[in-house]
A and B are shown apart, each in its own frame.
Chain A
Amino acid sequence: MNNKNRFQFFEDLWDSSAKNIAVVAAIYCILVAGFLAYNYAAAQSGLPEKERIYSQQMAEKKALLIEDVKNEELKSEIRDLDLALRQQYFERMAFSKRGKYLLLAGVIVLLLALKKTVAMQKKLPKKRVKNKDPLREANATTQARQTVIGSSIVLLAGALALGFAPGVDLPSASDEAEQIAEAAPQVTFPTQEEIRQNWSRFRGPGGVGVAHYETAPTTWDGESGDGIIWKTEVLLEGNNSPIVWGDRLFMSGADENTKEIFCYSTEDGALLWRKPIGMVPGAPSEEPRVMEGTGRTASTMATDGARVYAIFFDGSLVAFDFDGNRVWAKNLGVPDSVYGYATSLMCYQDKVIVQYDQGYEDDDTSVLYAFDGKTGSVVWQTVRPVANSWTSPILAKTNSGEQIITVSEPWVIGYKADSGEELWRATMMGTDLAPSPVIAKDMAIVIQPNEWMAAIKTDGSGDVTESHVAWHVDCMAPDIGSPVTDGELIWLLTTMGTLSCHKVETGEMLYEHEMDDMFQSSPVLVGEWIYMMSEKGKTYRVKTTAEFEQAEEVPFIDEWILASPAFTQGRIFVRGDRFLYCLGSK
């Protein structure tokens, strides 16, 4: 057989067998496509059995890991399962890839065979009667014009339909102003009464350490459990204090592996949820330096009744709703702070206020932020000419309106609470500031650790250093704990246990009393009593009188306490280094 004949032979073979080849190719393609479809459906609508089992196991182990975060064996098992799942996944991908090439080849053969088959089956064209109509062309152009007009009407209708389709109104600046005006009577944030009933931030309402209840638990016993409604283990370390809203208690914790928010039931101490804050945009990839004494979560959280807010040592600020869903998160930049960031958050209306002090007074890196609680967007921000500090801002109701008062080096500054506009400032503060201010008789009482206390009238404007400092007294000023006042008297408690009482009017000291104990938490005023919790867990109660009058000392348990307690009706919540306690009568 010469080449020509051989070629002819194959051509004839192809012609005669094209139909059969098409059938075989079609069956082949259907099989391959079926496998691919199954593979895809398995991935889309539920995993294959093996993967589902692995996934279930992984979910269970992850749940266990939440309870036992340091279990390395469990972590290793999760990693192994994770690897197995990934291998399964990539096997499926490889299967898909191979299948696609096989299918492509099959489709090519099928198309060629079908083309040949159809070509072989072509019939002779039917003889058509010639259209001799002289108006044929005119009719064709008429039809063409009608088609163009019809298409145009369809397009016009489509465009008009698009125009009348409901769109989204974007609020303009004037709309926003109107909305604000309209929204004025609508309260979208907690009422004053709600704030007074709860403990929504560091040192409670306003941040001044005053509980708005007449009474609080007076006795409890750590050993017998009397007077302790519940106690629950602290799952992650942290020096922040608990906050309470309604039947929920919140606090944060962190270690080198995780940063988390915890939500407990105030009724029985049950852990309602714990949530890692997750990836925060802009957060540093490597953990910044941690000051051992300060820790990763020295800043106390805050809540506006709808969301809780927490800030961590690396500048990560997060918002969670009460169900544990992260609402927003952002990083404010790793703070340049000598001892690590420790300022607590506060809420004002629907905004979360962050006093972000860092660096030096003249480098313009310190900022007072107000973030929209719902969205995390910046409502206002004010650059502060101050260095790093460890005080927390307070909300002061003064005769000239609500003010946010901050104490930093070197300025004490009063801001309009609703706009962040600076009202007044006084330069007087030195370094290493930790005690927060309090407000009494329209005066901000400020503390220079270990040196002095001063009162600044809050009705000034601009630099009031020379004009509005009501008094300035040298005293045993605390270096960590903040003062507390009932409006007439001020009590100071130093770390070394020196309690002193001063007049608000003049700063004159009325008494000084040494306690053989150490204190880092701040005192709290409840009714006629001042509660002070020592590092070793002992509670001291002192009457709010001008002369020293001590009640019983309530021995606690072997618990290290740095956080300030939270007070609600008939209950005290105390965070120790190992346990969280709810004190009161069952």
Chain B
Amino acid sequence: MNIMARIIPVLILLASLSGWAQDVQRFPPPDFESGYTFPMTQTPAPRGVVMSYVDIAVLFAALSLASYFSIHKRNRQGVFYLTIFSLLYFGFYREGCICAIGAIQNVTLALFDPNYSLPLAAVAFFLLPLFFTLFFGRVFCAGVCPLGAIQDLVLIKPMQVPRWLHQALGMLTYVYFGAAVLFAAMGSAFIICKYDPFVSFFRLTGSITVVTLGVCLLIIGMFIGRPYCLYLCPYSVLLKAFGQFSQWRVTVGPGGDCVQCDSCEDACPFNAITKPTPDDAPPPSEVDKKRLVLFSVLAPVVILVAAWAGSFSATPFSQMDYTVRLAERIALEDAGAVEGFIDASQSFRDSGQPAAPLFESARRIREQYVWGGWILGAFLGFVIALKLIWHSVQQTRIAYEADRSDCLACGRCYCSCPLERKRLKQLKSASFV
């Protein structure tokens, strides 16, 4: 059965790639006159204003329910059913769009491009989860986010990721967040949407690349809790920051009591439980204090070095921009470095536009990316410096706690807590002798 549980789903998911990826084929139009009149190309009508308000209302209601179940009622079952609803509504019904994660890009673009009209739904989906996080922790992740929901449902046999690897992979979220903001600010690409790994499941169609990415993440997600949320989700950067200041949040034991049984740590598949510090832990030594001062002093240097390194990303990152890609292709074709034309270069040539202005535009975009690279690098440097300082400050914890920023408020920890179960009359005694 163990073999079945691990191998068969993998086989099925891999094979299902073919089915999901098939819809992206297109049949060419007839290549001779047939009297058929091609319809005018139309963009889909925007979602009705009323329906946008409905989406916002549903989001607000879902966040409220998530807060109620997770924090107030401490009811894991309620969170689970809300997860199912969110998957069906925000995932399969709304086909993954609009979502709070992608809304980062809409908001960013609106800040940098005055001509971009920011939809109200995008603002609401961006702000509401952050607002709730500020009060109740990451309840959005707990039962509202469809991307989290689909991963939560495939989690069959959770395994703990070694803490060092968990921390190292966690850096990716900051890189992804920074890159997504940079590309959106430049108007080059919405990479969060472009590489949304689960949207192809919600829509039952997608490119083979994205479907493959999604299937791989779901396979990993059968054993590692929510790999996308923990190591890729750019929105989690904001949620973590806001979560640090949350007024109410998940506590493992009722009233914060703890018998230090480790059950919550075993139950949490997201590495979000922090251990209590030993009672006999030595006080901070001189070395510890000097290290803290050193990291604090070095912080600007770290930021500067990271910013400088970030500037190196300008040319490759600028290739996310269509104008730059086209200009590079035209340049390669003109230099004879590549054979033939691609559709984009053929269209450009057919338009008869001179190449010089295109090259000039591309160079300008590249220069902007140099600045963007500096800022992105500085941001990552700031994160690194902050983490180094944070991990140099001695912490004191008397009980097992759900980490303020990492806890997804799913309720698994308190479900496993003997004190909580006693509170719910599921155990006669919670004393561990």
Residues on A close to B: CB < 8 A?
19, 22-23, 26, 29-30, 33-34, 36-37, 39-41, 43, 75, 78-79, 82, 86, 89, 92-93, 96-97, 99-101, 103-104, 106-107, 110-111, 114-115, 117-118, 121, 125, 128, 132-138, 140-141, 143-152, 155-156, 159-160, 162-165, 167-173, 176, 257, 280-281, 327-330, 371, 374-379
Contact = CB atoms under 8 A, between A and B. Distances in A.
B44 to A, nearest CB: 20
A156 B313 CA distance: 11
Interface in B284-315: 288, 302, 305-306, 309-315
Nearest to B386: A148
A513 B349 CA distance: 51
Contacts of B156: 111, 114-115, 118
Given A33-B19, A125-B262, A148-B388, 19 more contacts: A22-B1, A22-B5, A30-B11, A96-B22, A103-B12, A115-B156, A121-B1, A133-B278, A134-B281, A134-B282, A136-B275, A152-B171, A163-B311, A171-B331, A173-B356, A280-B350, A281-B351, A375-B355, A378-B353
B15 A34 contact: yes
A29 B384 contact: no
Interface residues of B, number: 87
Nearest to B20: A100
A118 B32 contact: no
Interface in B1-56: 1, 4-5, 8-9, 11-23, 25, 27, 30, 32-34
B422 interface: no
A148 B331 contact: no
A567 B363 CA distance: 49
Given A26-B8, A147-B168, A150-B168, A165 B352 contact: no
Nearest to A37: B18
Given A30-B11, A128-B262, A168-B328, A137 B1 contact: no
A379 B154 CA distance: 60
A96 B23 contact: yes
Contact of A155 (B8, B14, B380, B392): B380
B387 to A, nearest CB: 5
A114 B312 contact: no
11 contacts: A36-B22, A79-B30, A110-B8, A125-B266, A136-B278, A137-B275, A138-B288, A151-B167, A376-B350, A377-B349, A377-B354
B12 A165 contact: no
B73 interface: no
A155 to B, nearest CB: 7
B391 A36 contact: no
B395 interface: yes
Contacts of B368: none
B346 interface: yes
B168 A155 contact: no
Contact of A117 (B1, B27, B331): B1
Nearest to B11: A30
B18 A170 contact: no
B267 to A, nearest CB: 10
Contacts of B377: 159
Contact of B167 (A75, A133, A144, A328): A144
A148 B391 contact: yes
B163 interface: yes
A78 B356 contact: no
A138 B18 contact: no
A181 to B, nearest CB: 16
Nearest to A369: B352
Interface in B331-361: 331-332, 334, 346-347, 349-356, 359-360
Contacts of A93: 22-23, 25
Nearest to A278: B31
B349 A155 contact: no
Nearest to A128: B262
Interface in B140-188: 153-154, 156-157, 163-164, 167-168, 171, 175
A19 B359 contact: no
B315 A167 contact: yes
Given A114-B5, A328-B346, A170 B331 contact: yes
B316 interface: yes
Pick from A165, A170, A378 the residue with the most CB of B within 10 Å: A170
Secondary structure of the B contact surface, majority rule: helix
A147 B22 contact: no
Contact of A134 (B14, B25, B280, B363): B280
A423 B81 CA distance: 82
Contact of A330 (B1, B23, B351): B351
Nearest to B291: A145
B378 interface: no
Interface string B360-391: 10110010000000000100100010011001
A41 B25 CA distance: 12
A491 B204 CA distance: 76
B309 A82 contact: no
Nearest to B390: A144
A125 B312 contact: no
Contacts of B380: 155
A36 B19 contact: yes
Contacts of A148: 167, 171, 384, 387-388, 391
A118 B156 CA distance: 7
Pick from B262, B316, B391 the residue with the most CB of A within 10 Å: B391
B263 interface: yes
A375 B352 CA distance: 8
Q: Which 4 A-B pairs rank lowest in CB-CB distance, beginning with the nearest?
A: A163-B312, A33-B15, A40-B18, A36-B19
A489 to B, nearest CB: 42
Given A144-B391, A176-B356, A330-B350, A167 B316 contact: yes
B163 A140 contact: yes
A173 B306 CA distance: 33
Contact of B281 (A33, A103, A138): A138
Contact of A137 (B30, B351, B395): B395
B34 A79 contact: yes
B278 A134 contact: yes
Nearest to B324: A170
A427 B74 CA distance: 94
Contacts of A281: 347, 350-351
Contacts of A96: 19, 22-23
Interface string B246-280: 00000000000000001100100000000101101
A477 to B, nearest CB: 37
B327 interface: yes
A36 B18 CA distance: 6
Nearest to B361: A170
Interface string B56-97: 000000000000000000000000000000000000000000
Given A26-B12, A159-B310, A160-B309, A141 B392 contact: yes
Given A103-B16, A118-B5, A148-B388, A159 B327 contact: no
A111 B14 CA distance: 15
A143 B12 contact: no
Contacts of A147: 164, 167-168
Pick from A41, A171, A374 the residue with the most CB of B within 10 Å: A171
Contact of B315 (A140, A152, A155, A163): A163
B200 to A, nearest CB: 11
A93 to B, nearest CB: 7
A19 B346 contact: no
A93 B302 CA distance: 54
A135 B281 contact: yes
Nearest to A127: B262
Contact of B306 (A156, A170, A376): A156
Contacts of B266: 125
B18 A156 contact: no
B394 interface: yes
A156 B23 contact: no
Given A143-B164, A148-B167, A148-B391, A155 B22 contact: no
